[in-house]
Amino acid sequence: MKKTFILSALFVFLCSIHEQKAQLIHSESIHVELGIPLDNNASNDYLIIRPQYALSYNSELNVPNWISWNLHRGWFGGVPRYSGSFIQDTSLPAEFYRVKHSDYTNSGYDRGHMVRSEERTATAEDNKSTFLLTNIMPQTPTLNQQTWLSLEFECERLCKDQNKELFIVAGGIFGANPKRLNTVVSVPDSYWKIVVILDSGQRVSDITPATKVIAVLMKNEVYTSGTTDWKLYSTTVNAIEEKTGYDFLSDVPKEIQEMIESKNFVSVQEQVESTTLMISPNPVSNQLGIVFPGMVSKQYEIQIIDMMGRIITNDNVELPVDADGMIRHQIDIRYLPQGAYSLIIGNGMNIYSSVFMKSE
């Protein structure tokens, strides 16, 4: 169903999803164009709609459950980054704890923007809104400044270089008893992000089974060199829904929603590729031979993915290295139907990928 919200540039509309469900059906915001994410417990979903983004706030965790926003080249501008302290959100109800800048101080965690500061630089007001602490979650420095940032750079590139219009939703996944900063701010175990990629001006009615969706799951941990590319953490919307309990993209027609939520759209061409993976024969009917440079006593993850982005096999094996420093391995693919497939091999440091054809 279409949810609409009456907004003005100076008006912030706040309501409980549980108590105001009827109102949601009759109002409009570009930031929830694809639907309002809902789970089975509306009691901890406090909805905030701003001109710059929408969010569901959790007063038990003192962080957002999710933040949803629209992004296109018009949101980028030249205003300088807000230079003050992060801002306590005084629009929250009086009975809620209102997170302070100092709650993060000396915690070892960054104040991680969900809506990136750079993504709201058309006006000073837009940029300042991203520093409200209801848009902030605790992230490790390497996640915030490297791995998470790498996907933010990709979103900026899509908007500026390809004139794409993005519909984004992001949030965290928490354990049963999460760590808390200053005893109040809950720390997620991992983060997720969903990016629906459309052409400029397109809306929910323009989404088709071919619409590309980026979905990632990233642990809230320390990242080292070689592990900071967002493509390494690509997944499906279905996987994120399973871990969070939320239903995303709910305003997309059901049959299309089911198709795009089941695909991992990061293709072989978008993976961290290597030309050193050799495959033979190709096409292949029974045994696929692979050769690539390897590391001694190293576990490798081997994935075969069909052209719809579905993972067909996902095996972890220890592969021996020969005297020439190469790994030579045979993969039984007799069970695969005829068609084209992607082969992806990784060990946490390197990723090798190629495409092969399965013949009869």
Q: Are 168 and 237 in contact (CB under 8 A)?
A: no
Q: How open is the CA angle 252-119-98, to the nearest 5 degrees?
A: 90
CA distance 156 to 61: 30
Candidates 26, 31, 113, 329; catalytic one: 113
CATH no., domain 13-266: 3.40.570.10
pLDDT (tens digit per residue) in 188-203: 999 999 999 999 999 9
pLDDT in tens, the chain (360 residues): 434 333 333 334 444 444 454 345 335 799 999 999 999 989 999 999 999 999 999 999 999 999 999 999 999 999 999 999 999 999 999 999 999 999 999 999 999 999 999 999 999 999 999 999 999 999 999 999 999 999 999 999 999 999 999 999 999 999 999 999 999 999 999 999 999 999 999 999 999 988 999 999 999 999 988 788 898 888 999 999 999 999 999 999 998 999 899 888 874 334 444 447 888 887 888 899 998 887 665 788 898 987 666 788 989 888 888 887 889 999 999 989 887 788 888 876 677 887 788 886
Q: With contact defined as beta carbons under 8 Å apart, do 164 and 198 qualify?
A: yes
The reported pLDDT for the residue numbered 166 is 98
Q: Read off φ and ψ for residue 40, nearest 5 degrees.
A: -85, 0
* CATH number of 270-358, picked from 2.60.40.3080, 3.40.640.10, 3.40.50.300, 3.40.50.150: 2.60.40.3080
The one-letter amino acid code at 280 reads S
Exposed / middle / buried, residue 218 (Cβ in 10 Å: 0-12, 13-18, 19+): buried
Reply yes or no on whether 113 is catalytic: yes
CA distance 58 to 185: 11
Q: Per this entry, what is the length of the chain? A: 360
Q: Coil, strand, or helix at residue 240?
A: helix
Q: To which residue do tokens 């837009």 refer?
A: 126
**pTM of structure:** 0.72
339: exposed, middle or buried (Cβ count in 10 Å: 0-12, 13-18, 19+): exposed
Domain boundaries in the chain? 13-266, 270-358
DSSP three-state, residue 209: coil
The pLDDT score that the predictor gives to residue 38 is: 95
Cβ neighbours of 22 (radius 10 Å): 7
Judge contact between 260 and 305, C-beta under 8 A. Answer: no
Task: Find all residues with CB under 8 Å of 360, minimum gap 6, and list them.
Answer: 285, 338
